[in-house]
Structure 1
Amino acid sequence: MNKQTLSAALAAIFASLLLIACSTVQHAAVDEPNASKPVLSCDQSIAEYFKPDDLTTVVFVKQFKQGELLALAGDNPPPYAPRAKHDLCMVKLNVGPGNPGPANATSTSNGIGIEVWLPSNENWNGRIHARGGGGFQGGVAGSPDHVASPFMAAAIADYEGAVSSMTDAGHASVPKNYGIPDSSGDFLMNPDGSINKTLWHDFSVRAIHEQALKTKALTTAFYGRPAAYAYWEGTSTGGRQGFKLAQAHPEDFDGIVANLPAMHWTRFVTAMMYPQLVFQRDLGGKALTIAQQDLVSNAAIHACDLVGGQHLGYIMNPAQCDYDPTLDKAVLCTSDGGYNATPACVTIVQANVFNKIWYGITEDGSVPAPAEDNGWDVPLADRQLWYGLTRGTSLWNAYFTRMLGRPAGVTNPDAPQSLGTDQLALQMEDPTVAGPDFRNASTIERDGWKDLSYEQLAAALKRGEVLDAAFSHINSDNPDLSAFEARGGKLLSWHGLNDEVIPVQGSMQYYDSVVNKMGSLQRVQDFYRLYLVPGAGHESPNGTSNPQANPPIFGKQSMYELLVNWVEHGVAPGRVDMQSPSATPFMRSQPACVYPSKAVYQSGDPNIASSFTCQ
């Protein structure tokens, strides 16, 4: 990808992030009696007077005036970098004690960096709307030289009028691109290869709890009154963080949006390596080409997307799809009994690789016939160790691979997803199995994952269960939400059926476990609701292999608006009629139903929401 194309791709990403934070729908200001003048000014007086505890230091304060570029001295902002629409105050904090060590070691930390953005007193809507992160997080939230979140927390404060914040989760890293943090997991390993329990704890839970505490304290100090409501919103890692907050610190937030959550961390991240290992063991290290992946994935869609006599271009109900490419002559090469003579044709062995990827990791690399078990059912089948991606998903993650200009999918032929190789190294306590970018002083050897057997990968996944406590319970799958329920908290989540990174069944499994733990579906739905969205991917509006699918999806601010209405006005969300993000190739509407209900076609045009009911 050339520089101009990369710049355009990054611009598209940032524009999307900006829309998430900057909905044109305006919330009514929270009623406040006689709003007082700010107690603190947006200058270095904050460093002198804001001392919530002995571990917290004010690193930097900056007043951004209306029209000023949201950047600091060390940034290299692109032409599309945003300018402030209103006066904003940015405060950067560091919360110790950090983790001592050699100056050049990734495991060495000065503490948790937190960046807080405060609207002017007259523009503040009385709320806190904090944001989560992605991947292994990191970044420059505590750096005086860089702006960490010009398209996230800053945009929320600027356009929405809420106080917002982000954290580096305890490991500072200079972004490779303006606003995008380095997301390597090597900081979680000590220089000698052992587990860095301190930074695992910061990454898992302490950083986000400190973010909540310090954002609240600074809000009260700055405006002279506390926020009326505090909300958390996060996707992927930010979704996992939302669930961890509800589980471990239910008092921190009144409402939580936790989308596409990266819970079950040690399971799903390790399982991301399974497709790449299948390429090594079954195909001699020769990955399926992009053309082959799209051919077979699109064939799966065509076999299973028929609704009301029309092909939708995406699969609404994966449970009913048992497409088996080993039986499809349209994709099999002529040499293997098929009639596909194109370079994208697949052999019987290659076709079965798809079945393995869709089914998910097993102890020995085996897979049942899809007609017997298509890998969808929750809970896990006997031989499954974790779920695979659903049929019709873009396995190589076309959306983000093209956006970022580098491999981003679990089956990308160029390289495995570094999230998976990093976590594999951490669970095996062996940096040699990681990818080349994993930094550790104990050895220079890398890419050892290629030599693992199926049994060794399965053992690594199981070892993650054993190490979860040492990783500060990073799996974030505690089903007991009774304390969050008791304090009146509300929790919303949605997950795309075609998530290219995190199998959607993990969200379903967790929800079912909460119902089992707390005794009844009705009790859980009184404070926690989940939506599943056909066709949607991992932060991508279309997670399928079909670029023309254009499935309906939640609007950028929909979940937050539903949450605010639920928390502040007692209006519990129900069926939500979604629309496609664009009119090309044509606009569709479809209902999102509260899990475990799903959209069921009744009659009429299947491209119109009124043709479906939630059952």
Structure 2
Amino acid sequence: MKGLSYLFAVVVGLTPLFALGQISTKIGSCVPCEQLKDLQLPDVTIMEIETMSNEAIEADDYWAAIADRKTSFCLVRGKISKEIKFELLLPAQWNGRFLMSGNGGFAGSIQNELIPYINVGYAIVGTDTGHDENLDGASWALDNMERQLNFGSLAVHRTAVVSKSIINSYYGDYPSFSYFIGCSRGGGQAMMEAQVYPDDFDGYVAGAPAFRWPALGAKFVQISQNNYPNPNELSKTVITNDNLRLLQEHIFKQCDALDGLSDSILNDPRDCHIDFDMLPLCPNDTAGAECLTKEQLAAIKSVYSPLIVENQQVYPAFPFGLESGDAGWDLWISGTSQYLEGYPSLHYMFGTNLFKYLVYNDSSWDYSQYDFKNFFEETKYASAYLDATQTDYSELKKQNGKMIMYHGWNDPAISAYSTIEHYEEALKVDQDLHSYIRLFLLPGVLHCGGGTGPDQVDWVTLIQDWVENDHAPERVILSKVEEGNTMMTRPVYPYPKVTIYDGAGKSNDEKSFGVKGK
């Protein structure tokens, strides 16, 4: 796939890491790294052991995130059961903590976004979730229940359990604290762990979580049917980049200044109410650069409308804002991004692959003919192993666990409204939810990062401080960094609180913002 490294960053990318946590204790290994080759664990194969020195790190681009530090560690590559591969990094000086990194997309490779944290002593692991394909499809799941279940939840759980056993064998002790951090698919994995295996980790960070798979796939299919009505002409998209430019200009004209700033950031898209009748329609319905055809307008409206089946909402609408630009609608919805090759859009890719291989087990399934009838009945099996939709977090609470959830308001991949709805439903179950789970909504931020708003923060340190010191995140300062320079800082507050501008201060300074709501 063209521009795969860029696409991987978009689909998977955890927010860049800056303020790394400090080592509180230093524990050296009890056994030489090489002796782990002889470690015997049930249903586990140790495939490779390697001591990584700074010299070896510098010679390998994969470890670029830590190459400039005097870091050494024991690298353990292994396999659980038939094909769950994992990669565990054990630092020479351990701080007593364990981090697990989530995956993106359909997984299929070890996607460890937390490698920089080995510099400050964390033991870190990642897994491919039990199959060996990358982000561009799910054919690996066809008629393979073991792979489906591994992807759904078992691979992360089993990797966590095995990793802790190896850590104990290496250091002579189990982790004092364990954390799971993920975005997109990784955010859904965090929620699955918190709901089903809450004692695996003490703290979780669930970013832009993909936690309602058939429902999300159905929304993707609905949008693709409107944008690619002819399955034989997938190179022809209904929505164009000119449409996106006009649409964003129209939305910002009506809504950008509602929060007191004209800065291409909608502080709360729920305040934005768009009059689509004000959009210019093309004369004689002939497509043009400065107007919309009826078909283009209908395709656009499908994104902003909830998917309703049998008088029930399957999936909510997407919020307004940031329709035009890199890694927005062009990549996910319209398919007009230069980084796409092989699929018309990421909505199309994920939606069609999900239904073909994880719902219907039918590689010939045709998205264009899908009428959504019997959706709820026919997706029960897939939802049973894929969805992290339980709203009772009482077991996490009993374990004294904590979870931070976050979502970019302008995420074109997964609607922020879906995460908000889940949080609201969980609040109905436990009005004390705020004491152990908090949700943060990031204005002007796309999927897992990017956009016009600030998107960078050290989530690891925040969740660690909450778990270990009982310092709940009350005000999180986000940064926007370009070429190493901090261009903007702004605060976000736990939902349902909303950040507000003071009307006078510098718009790029977090000190100019306060909070609205209780």
Q: TM-score range by the shorter chain?
A: 0.7 to 0.9
SS class of match (1:459): coil
Of 357, 360, 383, which aligns to 2:303? Answer: 357
Alignment of 1:121-520 (within 5 A): 123-139=93-109, 141=110, 149=112, 152-157=113-118, 159-173=119-133, 181-190=134-143, 196-281=144-229, 286-307=237-258, 309-325=260-276, 327-329=277-279, 331-335=280-284, 343-363=289-309, 384-394=313-323, 398-399=326-327, 408-413=331-336, 415-417=344-346, 418-426=349-357, 427-433=359-365, 448-450=366-368, 452-453=369-370, 456=371, 458-459=372-373, 461-463=375-377, 465-468=379-382, 471-472=384-385, 474-518=386-430, 520=431
Of 510, 528, 536, which aligns to 2:445? Answer: 536
Distance 1:592 1:389, change over 3 A: same
Alignment of 1:19-38 (within 5 A): 20=16, 22-23=17-18, 25-31=19-25, 35=27, 37-38=28-29
Tell me by how many angstroms 1:124 deviates.
1.4
Q: Deviations over 1:180-210 (max 9, x none)?
A: x4452112212xxxxx322221111111111
Distance 1:279 1:363, change over 3 A: farther
| Separation of aligned partners in 1, 2:401 and 2:78 | 27
Q: Is this contact kept in 2: 1:282–1:349, CA < 8 A?
A: no
Q: Is this contact kept in 2: 1:186–1:422, CA < 8 A?
A: yes
1:355 is aligned with what amino acid? K
SS class of match (1:92): strand
* Matched residue, 2:83: 111
Distance 1:65 1:611, change over 3 A: closer
Q: Deviations over 1:337-361 (max 9, x none)?
A: xxx9952421244223212221133
Tell me by how many angstroms 1:252 deviates.
0.7
Distance 1:117 1:431, change over 3 A: same
Tell me by how many angstroms 1:134 deviates.
0.7
1:462 is aligned with what amino acid? F
| Separation of aligned partners in 2, 1:79 and 1:483 | 37
Per the normalisation by structure 1, the TM-score is 0.74
Q: Deviations over 1:428-462 (max 9, x none)?
A: 332113xxxxxxxxxxxxxx323x15xx2x23743
SS class of match (2:125): strand
Identity rate of aligned residues, in percent?
21
Tell me by how many angstroms 1:92 deviates.
1.1
Q: Deviations over 1:199-230 (max 9, x none)?
A: 22111111111111111111111011222111
| Separation of aligned partners in 2, 1:593 and 1:356 | 31
Distance 1:432 1:416, change over 3 A: farther
1:490 is aligned with what amino acid? K
| Separation of aligned partners in 2, 1:286 and 1:293 | 12
Q: Is this contact kept in 1: 2:402–2:467, CA < 8 A?
A: yes
Q: Is this contact kept in 2: 1:18–1:155, CA < 8 A?
A: no
1:459 is aligned with what amino acid? K
2:298 is aligned with what amino acid? N
Distance 1:392 1:27, change over 3 A: closer
| Separation of aligned partners in 1, 2:268 and 2:393 | 29
- Unpaired runs of 5+ residues, structure 2, are 337-342
Tell me by how many angstroms 1:553 deviates.
2.8
Distance 1:93 1:606, change over 3 A: same
2:490 is aligned with what amino acid? Q
| Separation of aligned partners in 2, 1:128 and 1:335 | 63
| Separation of aligned partners in 1, 2:120 and 2:484 | 29
| Separation of aligned partners in 1, 2:127 and 2:473 | 30
SS class of match (1:272): helix
* Matched residue, 2:79: 94
Distance 1:18 1:234, change over 3 A: closer
Q: Of the two, which has the highest radius of gyration?
A: 1
For the aligned residue pairs, the C-alpha RMSD in angstroms reads 3.3
SS class of match (2:54): coil
Tell me by how many angstroms 1:591 deviates.
2.5
Q: Is this contact kept in 1: 2:99–2:124, CA < 8 A?
A: yes
Tell me by how many angstroms 1:172 deviates.
2.4
Tell me by how many angstroms 1:464 deviates.
5.5
Per the normalisation by structure 2, the TM-score is 0.87
2:433 is aligned with what amino acid? V
Q: Deviations over 1:463-501 (max 9, x none)?
A: 4542236x52x1111111111111111111110110110
Q: Is this contact kept in 1: 2:207–2:448, CA < 8 A?
A: no
| Separation of aligned partners in 2, 1:167 and 1:552 | 29
* Matched residue, 1:103: none
Does 2:40 match 1:51?
A: yes
1:46 is aligned with what amino acid? L
| Separation of aligned partners in 2, 1:462 and 1:393 | 32
| Separation of aligned partners in 1, 2:59 and 2:193 | 30
> More strand by proportion, 1 or 2?
2
Distance 1:88 1:585, change over 3 A: closer
Q: Is this contact kept in 2: 1:69–1:81, CA < 8 A?
A: no
Q: Deviations over 1:5-30 (max 9, x none)?
A: x59x659949x96973x53x343323
Q: Is this contact kept in 2: 1:358–1:389, CA < 8 A?
A: yes
| Separation of aligned partners in 1, 2:495 and 2:15 | 27
Does 2:490 match 1:590?
A: yes
Q: Is this contact kept in 2: 1:302–1:311, CA < 8 A?
A: no
Q: Deviations over 1:507-557 (max 9, x none)?
A: 111111111122x1xx11111101011111102320xxxxxxx312342x2
2:453 is aligned with what amino acid? P
Once the two structures are overlaid, the 10-residue window that deviates more, 593-602 or 278-287, is: 278-287
- Unpaired runs of 5+ residues, structure 1, are 97-109, 142-147, 174-180, 191-195, 365-381, 402-406, 434-447, 543-549
* Matched residue, 2:340: none
Q: Is this contact kept in 2: 1:234–1:257, CA < 8 A?
A: yes
1:562 is aligned with what amino acid? L
SS class of match (2:429): helix
* Matched residue, 1:41: 32
Tell me by how many angstroms 1:286 deviates.
4.6
| Separation of aligned partners in 2, 1:460 and 1:415 | 27
Q: Is this contact kept in 1: 2:203–2:401, CA < 8 A?
A: yes
Once the two structures are overlaid, the 10-residue window that deviates more, 270-279 or 385-394, is: 385-394
SS class of match (2:350): helix
Q: Is this contact kept in 2: 1:279–1:287, CA < 8 A?
A: yes
| Separation of aligned partners in 1, 2:281 and 2:91 | 60
> More helix by proportion, 1 or 2?
2
Tell me by how many angstroms 1:46 deviates.
1.1
Q: Is this contact kept in 1: 2:409–2:446, CA < 8 A?
A: yes
